[in-house]
């Protein structure tokens, strides 16, 4: 066995161990809960824009984007635009490395605030970004996205807008048919099922994880990437990395 393969097998063995390590999982969940309570994900930016994401999940997204080489990434819920910039920059690196040369990111949000729009549109990575303002579950938005995707071959979907069960399930039903074979639909903030959030319309029993469970019950073409869950441990998207088979 060569050294590269040996290293890969060592990693796989460790990850399999994490999947059965209840103590490690418990500590990780406690840390995640405290970090969310203290606003930890709000402290990071990417190329000058607030990204408002768990850094561990962003490393996972880099791995997925490198592995699947999408020519279109669709993201619902864009806030300050840092994640759009992040994904666009990864597509730029992919292009430099021989990947899809015209790859783009489509960002959808019900309210793209003018100060955020200005910062996104003036950013060097904006040349790979398209913006659409509207509710991701309205038919006009869905029709626009379906039409936009016609010229792309490998599509990755990221859901991170309204976190109620109904909204996320509607997004899943509307957009997952666009996800390419072997690619992913990543549903963020499934961790809401585990914690209590005050003054929010979502919470335990009404959140992205419950939507994922309901969706998977009727869509065997998608499966949870269990190894991703085991590897990350500290993630806002447990059971939310869905791979299209």
Distance, in Å, from the CA atom of 17 to the CA atom of 155, rounded to the nearest integer, reads: 32
Q: Which of 21, 84, 74 is nearest to 47 (CA)?
A: 84
**Confidence at residue 197, expressed as pLDDT on a 0 to 100 scale:** 75
Q: Which of 131, 181, 183, 138 is nearest to 158 (CA)?
A: 183
The radius of gyration of the chain's CA atoms, rounded to the nearest angstrom, is 18
Query: What is the DSSP secondary structure assignment for residue 178, as one 8-state letter?
Result: G
200 pLDDT higher than 90:
no
Please state the rounded mean pLDDT for residues 136-156.
98
Please state the rounded mean pLDDT for residues 163-181.
98
Degrees, nearest 5: CA angle 138-140-141:
70
Residue 179 main-chain phi, psi, to 5 deg = -70, 130
pLDDT grade for 225, boundaries at 50, 70 and 90: very high
203 pLDDT higher than 80:
yes
Please report which residue ranges of the chain form alpha helices under DSSP H: 3-19, 22-37, 55-68, 82-96, 114-121, 139-148, 165-175, 208-216, 226-232
54 pLDDT higher than 90:
yes
Q: Which of 89, 84, 88 is nearest to 112 (CA)?
A: 84
**Confidence at residue 218, expressed as pLDDT on a 0 to 100 scale:** 97
160 pLDDT higher than 90:
yes
1 pLDDT higher than 80:
no
User: Residue 102: which domain range?
Assistant: 3-244
**Confidence at residue 198, expressed as pLDDT on a 0 to 100 scale:** 73
Q: pLDDT tens across 81-93, in order?
A: 999 999 999 999 9
Please, which residues have CB within 8 angstroms of residue 71's CB and are 6 or more apart in sequence? 100, 102, 103, 104, 152, 153, 154, 155
Please state the rounded mean pLDDT for residues 200-210.
94
Which CATH number do you get for residue 115?
3.40.50.150
Distance, in Å, from the CA atom of 195 to the CA atom of 183, rounded to the nearest integer, reads: 29
Distance, in Å, from the CA atom of 28 to the CA atom of 139, rounded to the nearest integer, reads: 39
**Confidence at residue 199, expressed as pLDDT on a 0 to 100 scale:** 78
Q: What is the tally of structural domains in the chain?
A: 1
């Amino acid at each position: 066995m060569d050294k590269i393969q040996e290293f890969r097998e060592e990693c796989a063995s460790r990850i399999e161990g994490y999947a059965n390590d209840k103590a490690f999982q418990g500590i990780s969940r406690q840390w995640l809960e405290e970090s969310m309570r203290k606003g930890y994900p709000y402290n990071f930016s990417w190329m000058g824009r607030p990204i408002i994401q768990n850094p561990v999940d962003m490393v996972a997204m880099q791995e997925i984007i490198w592995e699947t080489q999408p020519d279109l990434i669709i993201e619902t819920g864009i806030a300050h635009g840092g994640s759009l910039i992040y994904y666009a920059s990864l597509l730029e690196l992919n292009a430099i490395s021989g990947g899809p040369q015209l790859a783009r990111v489509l960002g959808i949000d019900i309210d793209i605030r003018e100060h955020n729009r200005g910062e996104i549109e003036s950013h060097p990575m904006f040349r790979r970004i398209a913006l659409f303002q509207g509710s991701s579950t309205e038919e006009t938005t869905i029709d626009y996205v379906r039409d936009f995707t016609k010229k792309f071959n490998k599509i990755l979907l990221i859901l991170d807008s309204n976190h109620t069960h109904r909204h996320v399930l509607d997004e899943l039903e509307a957009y997952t048919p666009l996800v390419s074979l072997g690619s992913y639909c990543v549903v963020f903030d499934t961790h809401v099922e585990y914690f209590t959030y005050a003054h929010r319309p979502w919470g335990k029993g009404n959140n992205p994880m419950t939507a994922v469970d309901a969706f998977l019950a009727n869509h065997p073409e998608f499966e949870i990437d269990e190894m991703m869950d085991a590897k990350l441990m500290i993630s806002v998207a447990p059971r939310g990395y869905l791979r299209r088979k």
